[in-house]
Chain A
Amino acid sequence: MEKQEKAILTVVGKNEIGILAKVATAVAEAHASIVQVSQIVMDEFFTMNMHIEVSSMNCSIHQLEENIKAALPGVEVHVMHENIFTSMHSI
C-alpha cells in the first residue's frame, strides 16, 4: 500500500451557512479524503481544523488551498503538509 500522506486544513473566519459543506466539496473534488475534523463556532467566528489524506490527490496542496479560497472569499484558509507540523513539534 502506498504511504499515507496527510495535510492539515484550517479555516478561520466569520461564520456563514455552508462553510464546512463548501470545504468538504472542494476536498472531495481534489480526490482527498477527510480523516478527522474539529470545528466550533465561537462569537460568530468559525474555526475548523481538518486532517485530510492527500496521497491520491489530483492536484497540489497549494491548488486545493486556492480552490477553497475561491469558494470561500473572506475567510482565512490554510492547507499545509503534515510533515511541517511533525518536524516542528516533535523531536
Chain B
Amino acid sequence: MFNDKDVMETISMIRDNNLDIRTNTMGISLLDCADTDADKACTKIYDKICRLAGNLVKTADSVGEKYGIPIVNKRVSVTPVSMLAGISGGDPVKYAKALDRAAHEIGIDFIGGYSALVQKGFSAGDRELIDSIPRALAETDLVCSSVNIGSTKAGINMDAVKLMGQKVREASELTADRQCIGAAKLVVFCNAVEDNPFMAGAFHGVGEADHVLSVGVSGPGVVRSVLAAMPDDAPLHEVAETIKKTAFKITRVGQLVGSEVASILGTQFGIVDLSLAPTPAIGDSVAHILEEIGLEQCGAHGTTAALAMLNDAVKKGGVMASSSVGGLSGAFIPVSEDDGMIAAARAGTLSIEKLEAMTAVCSVGLDMIVIPGDTTAEVISAIIADEAAIGMVNSKTTAVRVIPAIGLKEGEELNFGGLLGFGPVMKLRSQSPAKMINRGGRIPAPLQSLKN
C-alpha cells in the first residue's frame, strides 16, 4: 500500500501542476492502401483510418476519465504520403484532403504524415508532394506535414533545403489571412524519427508495425513545482536527481495510460516519448523550469547548460520507467507554445541565436518561432541548413518550424490559438546567404556516419 505522502504527491501533480498526457498518437501504415488510381487509394486510406482509429478519441477519453488524467490531444500519423503519391501520380493534395476528411470523421486533433524523406535525393512523388505542401496545408484543417532533408548517414540535401525555404514561405503566404497557420503545421527535419507521436512532425515509418499506439507525456509544471520546493542552495547534481525521479513518475503515467488505450483498441503499444512538452497554459513551461534552476529569465547566459542538464535528467528518469522508449525524447522548446519562452522572447532576452545553441543539447530544434514577414526564402533555407548541420554532426534529430508572419514586423505578434499558442516576431540577421543556398547540391555525410 502507499503512504499518505505518496498519495498526496500524485494528486497534487495531476490536479495542481498540469500533469497530463500530451497526446495519444496512433500510427497507421498506409502501404496496403497504395493504388495506381489516386481516388481509389484515397478511399482505402479513409476507410482504413476510420476502421482502426474510429474509437481512438472515445477510448482515450474514457481511460483519461478513469484515471483522472486528461489526454489533451488524440492524433493519427500515417506512412509518408509521398510513397503513395509516387505510385499513383497526379495531384498529391487529394491525399491531404482524404486524410483531413478521415481526421474530421473520427474527431482527432491532428493527422500527420503528409511527408517526404529526401535526405539523399528525390524519388518518384517526392518533388510533387513537396511542391504541393503549401496548398495542402491551406486547403485542409488538421493535416500536418514534414520533410526530412538530412541525416547523419546521408548528409544534407541542399537542393531540398533550398526548396523547403520557399515552401515554408509559401505555406505562410497562402494562409496569411489565418495567422499564417500553414507554416505552423510544417516541419523540416534532419534525422527524423519514425515513431514520433508529436506534431507537426509525426509520420508512421515504414519499419513500424501496421498500426501502433504511442504516447507523448507532458509535465513541465510538475518538474517546476518540485524544483520550487528545493532549497535555493541545493547543488545541481541534487537538482538533476530530483528531475530524474519526477521524470520517472511522469513517464510511468504515460506508460500506464498508453498501454491501456492500446489494449482496448486492440493495437500494439508503440513507445512513450519522454519529452517534456510545454503548453501555453500558465505553469506548464519548460522556460520556467530553467528559471527555477536559477536563471533570471530563459535566454540568459547559462540557459544552454541548464537545459542540457534538464534534458539528460528527463531521459535518465524516463528510460527506467517505460518498457519502450522512443520518439524524440527530450525537452521541447517551442517558443509560441511556452508561456516562459514567449515572455523571454517579448523581453528580448531570448534570441534566435540562443535558441539555436539550445537545440544542440535538447530535442528538437527551432520550433514555433515567428519570424519577420519579409524574410526571404534563402534566409529560411539557411536557418534550416544551420539547424540540420547541428543535427547531422551530433547524430540527433533537429527540426525547423518557423512561421514567416506575412505583413508583420519585429515586435508584432501572431496568435495561432490552442496548443500552438502565440508569439512575437523575432529578429533575424538580414545579410544574404543566397549564394550558398543557390549552389544546391549536397553537404556530404560527416565522418560520424562511418560507424560500421
- Which A residues lie at the B interface, using CB under 8 A? 8, 10, 36, 38, 47, 49, 51, 60-62, 65, 78-81, 83-89, 91
Contacts and interface: CB of A to CB of B under 8 A. Distances in A.
A84 B4 contact: no
B6 A88 contact: yes
Contact of B255 (A60, A65, A78, A87): A87
A87 B253 contact: yes
Contacts of B68: 61-62, 65, 78-81, 84
B1 A51 contact: yes
Contacts of A60: 65-66
Contacts of B256: 83-84, 87
Interface string B1-33: 110101110110011000000000000000000
Contacts of B44: none
B256 to A, nearest CB: 4
A85 B67 contact: no
> What bracket does the count of chain B residues touching chain A fall in?
20 to 34
Contacts of A85: 2, 6-7, 10
Interface of B: 1-2, 4, 6-8, 10-11, 14-15, 65-69, 249, 252-253, 255-256, 320
A78 B15 contact: yes
A10 B7 contact: yes
Contact of B65 (A62, A84, A89): A62
B170 to A, nearest CB: 46
B66 A10 contact: no
B115 to A, nearest CB: 33
A67 to B, nearest CB: 15
A8 B67 CA distance: 11
A75 B447 CA distance: 63
Contacts of A61: 65-66, 68
Given A60-B65, A61-B66, A81-B67, A87 B252 contact: yes
A88 B11 contact: no
Contacts of B6: 85, 88-89
Contact of B249 (A47, A62, A65, A88): A88
A79 B255 CA distance: 21
15 contacts: A10-B8, A47-B4, A51-B1, A78-B11, A80-B68, A81-B67, A84-B67, A84-B68, A84-B69, A85-B6, A87-B253, A87-B256, A88-B6, A88-B253, A91-B320
A49 B66 contact: no
B2 A89 contact: yes
Nearest to A6: B1
A82 to B, nearest CB: 9
Contact of A10 (B11, B65, B69, B320): B11
Contacts of A51: 1
A38 B3 CA distance: 11
Given A51-B1, A78-B15, A89-B2, A83 B67 contact: yes
